[in-house]
Amino acid sequence: MRLLFLGDIVGRPGRQVVMSRLPMLRDAWKLDCVVINGENAAGGFGITEAICDEVLGAGADVITLGNHSFDQREALVFIERQPRLVRPANYPPGTPGRGATVIDTPSGARVLVVNVMGRLFIDPLDDPFAAVERIVSECPLGSACDAILVDMHAEATSEKQAMGAFLDGRVSVVVGTHTHVPTADGQILPGGTAYLTDAGMCGDYDSILGMAKDEPVRRFIQKTPGGRLEVATGEGTLCGLAVEIDDRTGLAVAVAHVRLGPRLAESAPAFWS
Angle ∠(212,214,218) on CA atoms, nearest 5: 135
SS3 of 162-221? HHHHHHCCCCCEEEEECCCCCCCCCEECCCCCEEECCCCEEECCCCECCECCHHHHHHHH
Q: Can 68 be counted among the known catalytic residues?
A: yes
* CB-count exposure of residue 140 (10 Å: 0-12, 13-18, 19+): middle
Angle ∠(17,32,256) on CA atoms, nearest 5: 65
Q: Distance (Å, rounded) from C-alpha 29 to C-alpha 180?
A: 24
Q: Distance (Å, rounded) from C-alpha 182 to C-alpha 177?
A: 9
Among the listed residues 5, 66, 76, the one whose alpha carbon sits nearest the alpha carbon of residue 41: 66
Q: Distance (Å, rounded) from C-alpha 97 to C-alpha 91?
A: 10
The single-letter DSSP state of residue 225 is -
Active site members: 68
